[in-house]
Amino acid sequence: MTKKYDVIVIGAGPAGMTAALYASRAELSVLMLDRGVYGGQMNNTAEIENYTGFKSILGPDLSEKMYESSTQFGVEYAYGEVTRIELAGDQKIVHTAEDQFEAPAVIIGSGSEYRKLGVPGEDEYGGRGVSYCAVCDGAFFKNEDVVVVGGGDSAVQEATYLANLAKKVTVVHRRDQLRAQKILQERAFARDNIEFVWNSNVTEILGDGKKVSGVALKNNQTGATSELPTAGVFVYVGILPITEAFKDLGITDEQGWILTNDEMETNVPGIFAVGDVRKKHLRQITTAVGDGGVAGQAVFDYVESVKSK
């Protein structure tokens, strides 16, 4: 039996939770769906120090606070991986693997996921030394040597976090300088147990059949190859939008990012998008929360217009 709501929010990250808060506070009936635990990428972040109101807070703790706030006005929360959205006049039917839900408005905040290296050994040793979450798996590598692949904010921040646990952290970056914020770079450079390998790509993740034992490297300037022993490989080489379920709606660009206007509206009336899933320059908790607030207000106006027909 299809359950009906005014608004269905897909994704319970900071953007989705804020959108749900605003919409429910406007006395709309709201369902918030997520395929995992609420909080999204915040749960994979050890320490957040650039979210206004908190000098420093653990990612999972901020997730919990946002969830408590977002559900205070009656938002229903359910687990479910969305497989597609069906358009039926003014109504949108959201299909999951087991259920379907209906509403005139949908806010997509499905977020993004870490990009893989796509090299031999990566899938084979997933969960056996290959990780995309230092907070989740760092404790398994106490007093071991580990490798972090990447040079952006996430790579450098998580390398610094791992330096508190590991014997040595080696950051492998394809360029000759980091792309991370200067303050993050300075912290990493100041750590005695963080080293850097520049202008290099990981070409294979090596192992003994049971767990990771090292990485194969190639210098992209000289062509020289080498092997670096390591117990763990943490990959931070970019993100991809989680939009496979929405590709048939015609709301994404070639890379899969959802296109919206300033009101978070897509080109399909009644479908909005917020947070990391949108095509935009800066993807942070602050910008996700801003998106959610705008969409939460815009969706109220849209639902009211549908009801008045």
- The rounded distance, in Å, linking the Cα atoms of 289 and 285 is 6
Residue 301 CB contacts under 8 Å (≥ 6 apart), including other chains: none
Site of tokens 């969305």? 82
CB-facing half-sphere around the CA of 123: CA atoms within 13 A: 3
> Is 137 a known active-site residue?
yes
Q: How far apart are CA 109 and CA 242, in angstroms?
A: 9
Q: Do residues 163 and 194 make contact, with C-beta atoms less than 8 angstroms apart?
A: yes
| 118, two tokens | 């796509």
Q: Which of 89, 67, 139, 114 minimizes the C-alpha distance to 235?
A: 114
Annotated catalytic residue within 137, 153, 276, 291 = 137
Distance from C-alpha of 74 to C-alpha of 72, rounded to nearest angstrom: 6
Q: Rounded CA gap, 245 and 95, in Å?
A: 9
Assign 178 to helix, strand or coil: coil
Burial class (CB in 10 A: 0-12, 13-18, 19+), 239: middle
Q: Which amino acid is at 101?
A: F
Q: Which member of 61, 99, 136, 176 is catalytic?
A: 136
Cβ neighbours of 128 (radius 10 Å): 13
Phi, psi of 129 (to 5 degrees): 130, -20
Q: Decide: 231 and 143 in contact? Cβ < 8 Å.
A: no
Catalytic residues: 133, 136-137
